[in-house]
Structure 1
Amino acid sequence: MGLGISESKVVYVVVLVIFVWNCFIQFGTDAQILPQNEVKALEAINSKLKNLNWKINENFCSTKGSVNRFITEDILSNVTCNYSLSSGTVQSVCSITHIQLKHLNLSRLLLAEFGNLINLQELDLSFNYINGSIPSSFSQLPLVILSLSETG
């Protein structure tokens, strides 16, 4: 005593539901929320480095991937975000994964606040005047790349 639903119709419905869900997730929301602890860390970095001109809030990563500013071919200010779906919602959460601040004439100690970006995988401060020791806050970071080449 069957329900009269063929196996191919079930497969079709499942595929359709998956397709609609993916479209909804991709196009149905533009809200990528940066956690408050990362907002505060970026605010502190922006304030201490002075010339980044980042406009920081929970929507900092709303450009779907990165915040770039190429001044010339060599001068670069880049922040890359990674997105994940917040459990139980259709709102995605972003996290800072890469920061590149190259040739910006930054002159100071290496900031401990970078260590508050808990998913930071790359920090490239090449061709600046960064000095001092690596802060202990970096010890828990999943850093794959830390570039301080040609610093002062």
Structure 2
Amino acid sequence: MVTKKLFVFWIIAMVCFSLLRYSESKVPEEEVDALEEITTAMGSTYWKFIGDSCEIEMVGVTLVPPKNSEHEISCECEADGIVCHVVRIAIKGYNLPGILPPQLVKLPYLREIDFAYNYLNGTIPIEWASMKLTSMSLEANQFSGSVPPELGNLVNLTTLMLSSNQLTGNLPVTFSLLKNLTDLRINDNNFNGTIPGFILNWEQLSRLEMHASGLTGPIPVSLSPLRNLLVLRISDINGPSQDFPVLRDMKGLVTLVLRSCNISGEIPDYIWAMKNLEML
């Protein structure tokens, strides 16, 4: 009987200890301060973040958030379960009028950012090149200028979404180093130059979108190295007339859009044999 009571007491004690540790877990003060600097730079008037629970209570330029807006901060805790670090920030659709915040570098554990559907302007900060980002979504904002070549240092990137902005210049040659990319979207921009051959380095790509990007043709003759592609969208490119690019090894293609690309000749027979193709 005594043994049974001791066992029950031990279970209760362990549960209480676990709850106590959870209640003590919190984001370091320097990361909390950095988050406030970041949202201020982005133009947020209202901001309240609870470091003990890693939750945003308030953000934006109005007390009532816009319809369909999204916000989330994700944290991961160390082995002790007490100290937790910010690893993801998503503030989407809040009409924020500020800039892309260089202060992101003050969050050393940050891996993912999603600032899509705001009114952010200026340029992409060079400071971000020193980070360990794996996902960057900056779609549908108003930032401009060229993409810093230093961003080629972000070799852990798997997702890069820059569509619907006012970006100019060439895609940096350093982007050839981004060999872990699985999703690249640069639609609706004002890029210059031809579609670079180094896109063939991105062999992990499952989605590639260059709709009205500003880049010119020709499309590389063979895209066969990109055999993992499921979605390929290229449209509205000027340049010389060219034959249909070789896509023979893309067995899993689901969506294929090659519109206004100065492609002439016949569509290869193997395209019609692609079993997963849903859009052509």
Q: Which has the higher contact order (CA 8 A, sep 6+)?
A: 1
1:15-48, Cα deviation, whole Å (9 max, x unpaired) = xx8x789645531230123223212211212333
The alignment of Structure 1 onto Structure 2 pairs a total of residues equal to 129
Unaligned runs of 5+ in 2: 1-6, 59-63, 143-280
Bigger helix share: 1
Alignment of 1:1-152 (within 5 A): 23=15, 26-29=18-21, 30-51=23-44, 53-56=46-49, 60-63=50-53, 66-67=55-56, 71=65, 74-86=68-80, 92-152=82-142
Kept in 2: contact 1:124–1:146 (CA 8 A): yes
1:66/1:81 contact within 8 Å kept: no
Distance 2:13 2:45 in 1: 38
Aligned-pair identity in percent equals 23
- Equivalent position of 1:9 in the other structure: none
Contiguous gaps of at least 5 residues in structure 1: 1-12
Give the structure with higher Rg (CA). 2
What SS does the corresponding residue of 1:28 show, helix, strand or coil? helix
Give the CA deviation at 1:149.
0.8
CA contact (8 A) 1:116 1:137 kept: no
Residue 98 of structure 2 aligns to a residue whose secondary structure is strand
Query: TM-score by structure 1 length?
Result: 0.67
Higher mean C-alpha deviation, range 108-117 or range 128-137: 128-137
Contact 2:43 2:99 in 1 (8 A): no
Q: Residues 27 and 112 (structure 1 numbering): CA distance in 2 closer, same or farther, change over 3 Å?
A: same
| CA root-mean-square deviation | 2.9
Q: How much does 1:130 deviate?
A: 1.9
**Local SS of the residue matching 2:48:** coil
Q: Which deviates the most, 46-55 or 117-126?
A: 46-55
CA contact (8 A) 1:84 1:92 kept: yes
Give the equivalent residue in structure 2 for 1:3: none
Cα separation, partners in 2 of 1:31 and 1:53, compared to 1, 3 Å: farther
Is the contact between residue 83 and residue 93 of structure 1 (CA under 8 Å) also seen in structure 2? yes
Letter in 1 for 2:56: V
